[in-house]
Amino acid sequence: MSRVDGLVAVRPSKAPKNLALLKNTFVDIVSGLTMWPLWTRMGWMEVRRRYRRTFLGPFWATASMAIFIGALGILYATLWNQDVNVYVPYLTTGFLVWVLISTLIIESCMNFVQWEVYIKQKSAPYTLFVCTTVYRNLVVFVHHLLVYVVVVLMFDIPIGIYTPLALVGVIIIAVNGMWIGYMFGIIGARFRDIPQLVMSVLQIMLFVTPILWPVNFSGRVRTVFVDFNPIYHFIEIVRAPLLGHAPTAGNYIFVAVVTVVGWIVGLFVFNRARPHVVHWL
């Protein structure tokens, strides 16, 4: 409230506008999630489009991964004097989850840019495109599990009561993929060089995260590269069950904190910037 020429002027409150933004964001999320028949079809069609007119389809990526893991597994096990029967399954499971996480992050930067024409022509919830990206990567991850099945048959990997926890871990990664999709999708729409920056950072993270090297190699740098490395904990909640043992309580606690904080930040960014996305495309 301010005084102008003896009159009292009441400044309009921002509360109604903020409530309207919040309501529209909530409607966007709910309506997008309920459109699951559409985003599952869109995700599947994207997978088919990428591998159109190929003999193996999405299994080309799986075959490339199998060759990479086989060559690197034998080489690194020899160089580091590791037991092949232990190191190759460790590398396989860790790399499978790493590909899922890293691809989710990279493709999330193009969530809205990729569907620019569709967004400009039709009024559709942005959640539709976020769900499409998450679903598409889950489909590809299922294809990649063929490599894990082969490794299970070749090596002595125990399958027991902890193995189903891997599914819980994948669901947790998918839930986090949603807020990543909102936040990185908006930032990527606003700044088009973000995907290149994210790819550069992830290339570094591949080597500083216990994926290619065992956790017991961390030594004095364990606190930085293991304990406070969020990617390690997300990988471990899937890798550990696939190897036949349970993740630690610390893994789940760290992942829970990241999930809650990530959703708070992601929803804040999505709520504030959602009306501007179409103008940035």
165: left (phi over 0), alpha (psi -120 to 50) or beta: alpha
207 close to 221: Cβ distance less than 8 angstroms: no
Whether residue 214 is contained in a domain is answered as: yes
Whether residue 13 is contained in a domain is answered as: no
Please give the pLDDT value at position 263.
Answer: 95
Our count of domains for the chain comes to 1
Whether residue 10 is contained in a domain is answered as: no
Rounded-to-integer distance, Cα 208 and Cα 225, Å: 6
Please give the pLDDT value at position 18.
Answer: 67
Whether residue 12 is contained in a domain is answered as: no
Residues in the chain with pLDDT values less than 50? 2, 4
173 close to 102: Cβ distance less than 8 angstroms: no
Domain enclosing residue 275, as ranges: 19-280
Whether residue 220 is contained in a domain is answered as: yes
Whether residue 1 is contained in a domain is answered as: no
Rounded-to-integer distance, Cα 8 and Cα 251, Å: 58
Whether residue 83 is contained in a domain is answered as: yes
Rounded-to-integer distance, Cα 194 and Cα 200, Å: 10
Please give the pLDDT value at position 278.
Answer: 87
pTM: 0.89
* N residues, the chain: 281
Whether residue 218 is contained in a domain is answered as: yes
